[in-house]
Structure 1
Amino acid sequence: MTTNLHTDHHNHAAPATAAPHAGHDAHAGHDAGVPGGLRITQDGYTLDLDTTIAAPGEIDFRFRILGPDGRPVTEFDPIHDRELHLIVARRELTGFWHAHPRREHDGTWVIRLDLPEAGAYRVFTDIAPRALGRTITLGADLALAGHYAPQPVPAVSRTTTVDGYEVTVDGELREAGELLTLTVHKDGEPVTDLQPYLAAFGHLVILRAGDLAYVHVHPNGEPGDGVTPAGPGIAFHTAVPGPGTYRLFLDFRHGDVVRTAAFTLTTETATPRHDPHAGHHHHH
């Protein structure tokens, strides 16, 4: 399902020393307790879609990221090898597309999407505007006209198959964070020659059913570091924004093709971070 239109411009980043923010916690400076992707505007940046209503099928999708001055942003720091990641998902999380649009000189992003079915969709952009100095995820609604029968979120499952690959997930979704390991087999054999995709052996996006809160997930290690294996297991440190049902989408590259494996997992209600009856009163 993944659209692999790699027409993006390779604007090579300055050396890592020029980006002191790169290693910081993804949540640093975010509004406390508000997950990513729920808002069309945040920290002065706005996701401006050319159209929010379209017909199903091939769409010439165009949008801009507007900065605090109201003008299109053209200076971005790369995240996972790209200036911008575009994620499109059906609101019921039964469809997922991860694409990399082309940025035109005026700051308009352009990509041809093939979204064959009518329905309610959510569009996400993962960006790190240079002037902001950190990553944010903006989200906006897209409606594709026509008759549409909403489907339930797929049932919880730790195993999925895609194009003859079987992928399993180990680990729990918790607010406090935990290591999730996704393991890839093909025809019953472990895959040990995964290819790098976006500077990692896998790219994982997690969306919460019901509000489509977007979870940034960072892989542990990277290709070429001498310690991270090219499969069969891909490890991710994952913290979710609260209890609920989540849909996980793993992009992985093997045999020169990027495929997407999807899972549904639920969290158990996590232990509260602080018990209000414990008598710990914080005086500021």
Structure 2
Amino acid sequence: MRLMTYALGLVVVFASAAGAGRAFGPEGKPAPAPAHTAMDEHPGHEATTVAAEGLQVTQAGYTLSPLTTRLVAGQAQTFAFRIVGPDGRAVTQFTREHGTEEHGTELHLIVVRRDMAGYQHLHPVRAADGTWSVPLTVSEPGAYRALADFTPRARTEGLVLGADLDAPGDYQPRLLPKPDWETTADGYTVTRAGEPQAGADSWMTVSVSRNGQPVTLEPYLGSFGHLVALHQGDLAYLHLHPQEGATAGPDVTVDASVAATGTYRLFLEFKHDGTVHLAEFTATTGAGHTHN
């Protein structure tokens, strides 16, 4: 009887242990719940995460270090800066974009006032010691933001760093124009279809015409148009990339997924008849499907 009772006790103990193992998994940890994704809540809609860029002067060990910190409104000057790497030295090796190893673009520099007036897209020249320089004229006083868009050779992903610059004087900030679907630039009419979207895939198409007739856009820096979006307030930067496989014509379709809801100023650069033109829009976002 004692042996039978002992054997039955062992059966009960092992059965309990097996049940606990099924409930808690190995090493007593809770068994994982089934995977949950955005697709479960919103079938047919894929959540998109876009990072805000240009809000920091230092990121991933790299620092935008302006050598020129004071601008003089209405006066041509040389703006100089360096990109300082994790080792504390000026970076001298960058990945070229929009071209060959000899003729590509190593760095894009955006200079814009805090009220998003006076936008300039510049391509500085780098000296052997890592010092970048470019001619720069700002027409009016105010607080300006310099944004450097680049990819160090040591990284596979690009960075956008931002630094504040000051042009002393009587600063009269301008109100941002209301959202619009059509604008003009140097005699061209530029229209857009679609809005930037936060948290979801979105596309926006921009069309260019002159004297009522569509024009055929020419390649500029590797595509038929370059569209930069700046978020009102913090000036978060986004380069909205054109759709792959685009062909020459009057239209440019770009990825319009952005990091946050709100109001954006859109700066479109396009080339026609050998000249680059700048068109500007104000746009507001939709919320999309965001998940915390």
Following superposition, the deviation at residue 272 of structure 1 comes to 2.8
Following superposition, the deviation at residue 33 of structure 1 comes to 7.0
Matches within 5 A, 1:157-176: 157-175=180-198, 176=200
* 1:40-67 deviation line (CA, Å, top 9, x unaligned): 0100110000122221121210000000
* 1:142-198 deviation line (CA, Å, top 9, x unaligned): 111111111111211111101110101111211213111110011110012x11100
Matches within 5 A, 1:212-227: 212-221=235-244
SS at structure 1 position matched to 2:137: strand
* 1:17-38 deviation line (CA, Å, top 9, x unaligned): xxxxxxxxxxxxxxx8751000
User: Match for 1:145 among 149, 168, 177?
Assistant: 168
The answer on whether the counterparts of 1:86 and 1:124 sit within 8 Å (CA) in structure 2 is yes
Match of 1:187 in 2: 211
Match of 1:100 in 2: 123
Match of 1:7 in 2: none
User: Match for 1:202 among 212, 218, 225?
Assistant: 225
Match of 1:229 in 2: 247
Distance 1:250 1:125 in 2: 18
The answer on whether the counterparts of 1:59 and 1:115 sit within 8 Å (CA) in structure 2 is no
5+ residue gaps, structure 1:
1-31, 222-226, 275-284
5+ residue gaps, structure 2:
1-48, 99-103
User: Match for 2:264 among 243, 246, 255?
Assistant: 246
Following superposition, the deviation at residue 90 of structure 1 comes to 1.2
Distance 1:34 1:233 in 2: 27
Distance 1:94 1:231 in 2: 29
Aligned amino acid, residue 62 of structure 2: Y
Distance 2:107 2:204 in 1: 25
Structure 2 length normalisation: TM-score? 0.78
The answer on whether the counterparts of 1:64 and 1:108 sit within 8 Å (CA) in structure 2 is yes
Calculate the aligned-residue CA RMSD, in Å. 1.4
Identity %: 47
SS at structure 2 position matched to 1:109: strand
* 1:122-146 deviation line (CA, Å, top 9, x unaligned): 1101100011221110011111111
Distance 2:117 2:204 in 1: 22
Following superposition, the deviation at residue 71 of structure 1 comes to 0.5
For residues 44 and 120 of structure 1, do their structure 2 counterparts lie closer, same or farther at Cα, with a shift above 3 Å needed?
same
Matches within 5 A, 1:73-84: 73-80=91-98, 81-84=104-107
Report runs of 4+ in structure 1 exceeding 4 Å deviation.
none
Matches within 5 A, 1:1-284: 34-56=51-73, 57-80=75-98, 81-175=104-198, 176-192=200-216, 194-221=217-244, 228-273=246-291
Distance 2:238 2:160 in 1: 9
Following superposition, the deviation at residue 111 of structure 1 comes to 0.5
SS at structure 1 position matched to 2:205: strand
The answer on whether the counterparts of 2:50 and 2:257 sit within 8 Å (CA) in structure 1 is no
Larger radius of gyration: 2
* 1:182-240 deviation line (CA, Å, top 9, x unaligned): 10011110012x1110000001100000000001221113xxxxx53222110111211
The answer on whether the counterparts of 2:225 and 2:268 sit within 8 Å (CA) in structure 1 is yes
Match of 1:27 in 2: none
Q: Which has the higher helix share?
A: 2
SS at structure 1 position matched to 2:252: strand
Aligned amino acid, residue 133 of structure 2: V
Structure 1 length normalisation: TM-score? 0.80
Following superposition, the deviation at residue 114 of structure 1 comes to 1.6
* 1:250-284 deviation line (CA, Å, top 9, x unaligned): 0111111111100000013333336xxxxxxxxxx
